[in-house]
Chains A and B, each alone.
Chain A
């Protein structure tokens, strides 16, 4: 009896990292319903916030915690001539609306051309707004990026943006727990992006649905913060609510000294808490996956969802063994891409290369790309868009002398924004053209109507840009 009681006690105490952060933020649990979850940090951008502000106005409400809210326009912005007014009227209107909404409610707004401007998921970590143990939301599915710091971060819809603006809380059912462990050493040329694409290719775009994923294992903890952000960014692409990684020295070193990071005594207090943020040994996950880092090679996608990824050295799969709607969907996807079943992907000609986005628009991505193309030449008929994730990244690229190397190799740098990730601004891939892209989604038309996207790492993108075809780095 006594033993059973003790076991139960141990069982109850053992928590996952996700549980620790989530539970610490529950203001109230609604009977038979969701939890009222307190939000530490709310990021907003121009696309998913205007209707929420309109809702507030209609209810006669003010923003509850403007000091915990940060805004930047990123989806709509052009990536050249940002000093000029935005040409597209609807885009300009959305960006201006964000600015006036922020002014009205006293929210920090990082406008175009200012030091703090950039893709919302790049500037948060950069400014130290993203910290371990926080709850972070934004009306954008790639909010999962911030989980790299051991935060519970997830994308929300506009009604939920309005909830957070109005109350700093959100109503959410608690997701299930999943752990994806990648152990071992990554081979040379294999990057965080390849890990992400590999995992999604194994568990599919719905494998993580209903779950919050903790990424663990030696291959994950050996990643830099930039790499960890890439992995957590892509967690939404396996259907998960979000992904997170236990904070460690790499995390603390990254956060320390940043603009909004705690200082002095506050830092010591925060650090002591952050060090407790890891999954207890006895904690139980609802679902677990284990992968061996040695099995991962440079990856690329051949279809129209991020789960349709293969090793570049492999052939495109066949529909043998698929039936019914599975078969039809697979064939529709290949038809859209203009690929045949069973043929090699290596050597397929490409037209565009895009380096950037909240997935791969950080300094490390630019260093990797630049290092690979150094002293070589871009293929003449490839159009390459190199778009830093933020003004700070752009500045660092210049300071490190990467621009000269890129220019010598035939590349030019553009200005920060979401750019060709989602075809909402002038950077669109034309119909039928192939784009090797370091972004997160290869959906039909994602980079422009009828565009064809092949997702890959910055290193693979660099190799493809030089060869003008799908190539191994």
Chain B
């Protein structure tokens, strides 16, 4: 799914008025709400998510994706909206952390590679891409070009094995209490 817009901020990903739930469900319906709908309810035919020719679980966006608020709802909305990977040439820090904590993989590529990806999608809206977390590679199947992306080794292990920071921290109770005594 191509979204060649820069500085896509968290208020565009999910506007604040949709943050009122006390449970984590249904956020995908409000993903990109104000771009996706005209006057609240009518789907905007110009917005990429409303174009039937586009589908897939990889969101490809312009640089500085996810700037703004710390709302994890942004990562939840993208994940609930059916995406597993977000590709951009630059991510905002808090968004990147939130994504990784929710099984959504942020893949940072060079600006040139991003251009190439967008060009491949423009030429063929069924263009395919392969993401391999083990090798940290993102491949444009159309051109065969591949790029290695960075991910913190600890986070990679967590994602691959479904580990959770909270389990890790709760198991550190004694060490944390020892620190508090210092």
| Residues of A near any B CB (own CB < 8 A) | 27-28, 30-34, 36, 38, 47-48, 50-51, 54-55, 59, 61, 64, 75-76, 88, 90-91, 93-94, 97, 139-141, 143, 155-160, 162-163, 166-171, 173, 175, 205-206, 209-210, 239, 241, 304-305, 324-326, 328-329, 332, 422-424, 441, 443-446, 449-450
A139–B98 Cα gap in the complex (Å)? 11
- Which residues of A lie under 8 Å from residue B155 when comparing CB positions? 33
- Contacting residue for A444 out of B12, B62, B98, B168, CB 8 A: B12
A158–B11 Cα gap in the complex (Å)? 16
Binds A, one of B44-52, B86-94, B121-129, B139-147: B86-94
Known: A167-B172, A424-B19. A210 touches B12 (CB 8 A): no
- Decide if B9 touches A166 in the complex (CB within 8 Å): no
- Contacting residue for A141 out of B73, B94, B101, B172, CB 8 A: B94
- Decide if B94 touches A34 in the complex (CB within 8 Å): no
Residues of B138-175 whose CB lies within 8 A of A: 152-155, 165-166, 168-170, 172-173, 175
- Decide if A332 touches B19 in the complex (CB within 8 Å): no
CB pairs A–B below 8 angstroms (30 shown): A27-B175, A34-B154, A38-B180, A47-B71, A48-B72, A50-B22, A51-B24, A94-B22, A155-B69, A157-B70, A158-B73, A158-B98, A166-B166, A166-B170, A169-B169, A171-B165, A173-B152, A205-B7, A205-B64, A206-B90, A209-B90, A241-B93, A325-B6, A325-B62, A332-B5, A423-B15, A443-B11, A443-B68, A445-B12, A445-B34
Known: A34-B154, A38-B179. A140 touches B173 (CB 8 A): no
- Decide if A167 touches B22 in the complex (CB within 8 Å): no
CB distance from B103 to the nearest CB of A (A): 11
Number of A-B contacts (CB under 8 A): 185
7 additional contacts (CB under 8 A) given A91-B20, A325-B6: A38-B176, A47-B71, A48-B70, A50-B23, A55-B166, A167-B172, A168-B180
A156–B71 Cα gap in the complex (Å)? 8
- Which residues of B lie under 8 Å from residue A449 when comparing CB positions? 15, 34, 40
- Contacting residue for A167 out of B17, B64, B69, B169, CB 8 A: B169
Asked if B67 lies at the interface with its beta carbon under 8 angstroms from chain A, I say yes
CB distance from A264 to the nearest CB of B (A): 22
- Which residues of B lie under 8 Å from residue A175 when comparing CB positions? 93
Closest to A96 in B: B22
